[in-house]
Amino acid sequence: MITVVIPYYQKKTGILARALASIKLQEPCGMPVHVVVVDDASPVPAKGEVDSLGNLPFSIEVICQENSGPGGARNTGLDHAPKGTRYIAFLDSDDEWDSSHLQRAVAALKAGYSLYFSNHYHLGQSIGAFERAGRLDLAKHVELVDVGTGIYAYQGDMLDQIIRGNIIGTSTVVYDFQRCPEKRFRIEFANAGEDYLFWMELVSNGVKTAFSVQCEARYGHGVNIYSGSGWGTEQHLLRIHNELKYRKTTANLFSLTSDQQAHLKRCIEELRASFARDLLHRLAHRKGLAVRYT
């Protein structure tokens, strides 16, 4: 089966119901679908959202836990994937899938690929994330015409792609769980990098990657870790701090080329400067620090 993992923490009703409705509308993918919703101490309980939809064409389990952040909630979902789960798909609770997403993902994975992701729309955008970022040159990749229109085999160093300019959106990822059943998110990087590190660990394990240029997910407006993270806020400082940790971890965790190491060094220097500027801003405006940074 394919198991869909949804970390859930929302303050408004109806958000999870829309995500689940987009699963309900999925075209047949040739596999049974099971959904694991991890209620991460959400102010709006997940059970009421699930019950509001009535009968669903897939099995669903709601797990309630103390708040541990999106990575911790995803890990709980992975830990509760039923026996027989072949593929894992991630969907954040405020996002929605295009009806063809699982069908296209399963087709690519069955063709011998172990990681799949797709183009997507960020909140309020009508242009896909791939086009907006400009980090993919399709001429360098191979279209899998026998698998589906607009589905490509990624050619080149996917680890390098993630390090220099990640193009993977979490709510578009489907991967072969049986190939990497032990992989989990590093929850110490809740504000920056835990998802990137997860993708890097997958591709470093030798998985073949396929991607779709079709926008197969639309990101919504709900609670997320970047809410209120503008300049001078505690969240902004924490985000920089955690991204520093993530970049340092990347340098220590993976076998990198000299160019990749130099790139990370520049990133770390820039982040340190940003952290210092933010601290000076807070001092100048007599703002305290609610978090201890180590």
Mean pLDDT (whole number) for 206-225:
87
Query: Is residue 49 included in any domain, yes or no?
Result: yes
The percentage of residues in the chain with a pLDDT greater than 70, rounded to a whole number, is 93
Output the pLDDT for position 36. 98
For the chain, give me the number of helices (H) and strands (E)?
9, 10
Cβ atoms of residues 8 and 40 within 8 Å: yes
Residues in the chain: 294
Residue 288 in tokens: 């305290």
- Burial of residue 223, with CB atoms counted within 10 A of its CB: 0-12 exposed, 13-18 middle, 19 or more buried: middle
> Is 63 found in the same domain as 13?
yes
How far is Cα 89 from Cα 76, in angstroms, rounded to an integer? 14
From 111-115, 172-176, 286-290, the region with the lowest mean pLDDT: 286-290
Output the pLDDT for position 5. 98
Query: Is residue 199 included in any domain, yes or no?
Result: yes
> Is 277 found in the same domain as 156?
no
pLDDT tens for 261-290 read 999 999 999 999 999 998 888 888 887 776
Output the pLDDT for position 242. 86
Query: Is residue 189 included in any domain, yes or no?
Result: yes
Mean pLDDT (whole number) for 144-162:
97
Query: Is residue 64 included in any domain, yes or no?
Result: yes
3-state secondary structure of 237: helix
> Is 24 found in the same domain as 88?
yes
Q: At which of 194, 218, 242 does a domain end?
A: 218
> Is 134 found in the same domain as 14?
yes
Mean pLDDT (whole number) for 132-157:
96
> Is 179 found in the same domain as 104?
yes
- Tally of domains in the chain: 2
pLDDT tens for 43-101 read 999 999 999 888 899 999 999 999 999 999 999 999 999 999 999 999 999 999 999 99
> Is 261 found in the same domain as 160?
no
How far is Cα 231 from Cα 215, in angstroms, rounded to an integer? 31
Q: At which of 165, 186, 218 does a domain end?
A: 218
Confidence of residue 234 (pLDDT cuts 50, 70, 90): low
Query: Is residue 213 included in any domain, yes or no?
Result: yes
Tell me phi and psi for residue 188, to 5 degrees: -70, -10
Specify the CATH number for the domain of residue 162: 3.90.550.10
> Is 144 found in the same domain as 271?
no
> Is 194 found in the same domain as 145?
yes
Of 223 and 211, the one with more pLDDT: 211
Q: At which of 165, 187, 218 does a domain end?
A: 218
> Is 152 found in the same domain as 57?
yes
Confidence of residue 238 (pLDDT cuts 50, 70, 90): confident
Which whole-number Å values give the CA distances from 244 to 36, 109, 241, in the listed order? 32, 34, 5
Tell me phi and psi for residue 40, to 5 degrees: -90, 60
Local structure of residue 117 (DSSP, 8 states): E
From 26-30, 177-181, 228-232, the region with the lowest mean pLDDT: 228-232
Confidence of residue 132 (pLDDT cuts 50, 70, 90): very high
Identify the domain containing residue 183 by its residue range: 2-218
Which whole-number Å values give the CA distances from 290 to 47, 234, 237, in the listed order? 33, 7, 11
pTM of the model: 0.92
Mean pLDDT (whole number) for 95-121:
98
> Is 140 found in the same domain as 91?
yes
